[in-house]
Amino acid sequence: MSWIDKELKRRQAQPTAAAKARAAGGSDSQMPGESAAMQTLWDKFESLNQALPEQLRLRVEPVRQDGLLLKTPAFRLWLMAPNGAGLGFNGEGVRYLWPVQSRRRSHNFWIRWHDKHGYRVTQRLGWSWTGASAVEARFNEASLDHIMQCLVQGRRVRFRALRVRRRWWPF
Spell out where 7-115 has E strands: 59-61, 77-80, 86-89, 93-97, 109-114
DSSP percent split of the chain into helix, strand, coil, nearest 5: 25, 25, 50
pLDDT value of residue 114? 87
| Contact of 151 with 161, CB cutoff 8 Å | no
Q: For the chain, give every domain's residue range.
A: 31-161
pTM of the shown model: 0.71
Please list the pLDDT of the chain residue by residue as tens digits (171 residues): 688 888 888 888 765 443 333 333 344 444 444 578 889 999 999 999 999 999 999 999 876 555 454 455 678 889 999 999 999 998 889 999 998 887 777 788 899 898 888 898 888 876 666 666 778 888 988 889 999 999 999 999 988 888 877 767 676
The secondary structure of residue 41, as a DSSP letter, is H
The secondary structure of residue 21, as a DSSP letter, is P
Distance CA(115)–CA(158), nearest Å, equals 25
The answer to whether the Cα torsion of 131, 38, 57, 159 is positive or negative is negative
| Contact of 80 with 61, CB cutoff 8 Å | yes
